[in-house]
Amino acid sequence: MNIAGISTAMSLTNTQSAYGVAMLSKSLDQVSSTGGQIVEMMDAAAMELSVNPHIGANIDISV
């Protein structure tokens, strides 16, 4: 048995696993932040419609 090789492989596996978890955590934070911003944009759009309900209701297109 090569104890040193097994130990090195286990250490590398643990490091890769920790790195993967950290990256997933960062991704989750970013998605959560983006989702919050989208909700804020939707609230702002709803507020605009309540103040000016006729804005954006019709589109005139001529070719």
As a 3-state breakdown, the chain gives helix, strand, coil percent values, each rounded to 5, of 80, 0, 20
pLDDT in tens, 20-40: 999 999 999 999 989 888 888
**pTM for this prediction:** 0.56
- State which amino acid sits at residue 43: D
Q: What is the dihedral of CA 36, 40, 45, 50, to 10 degrees?
A: 130
Nearest Cα residue to 46 out of 34, 59, 55, 36? 55
Greatest extent of the chain over all pairs of C-alpha atoms, in Å: 80
pLDDT in tens, 51-60: 777 776 777 7
Pairwise CA distance, residues 41 & 62, whole Å: 30
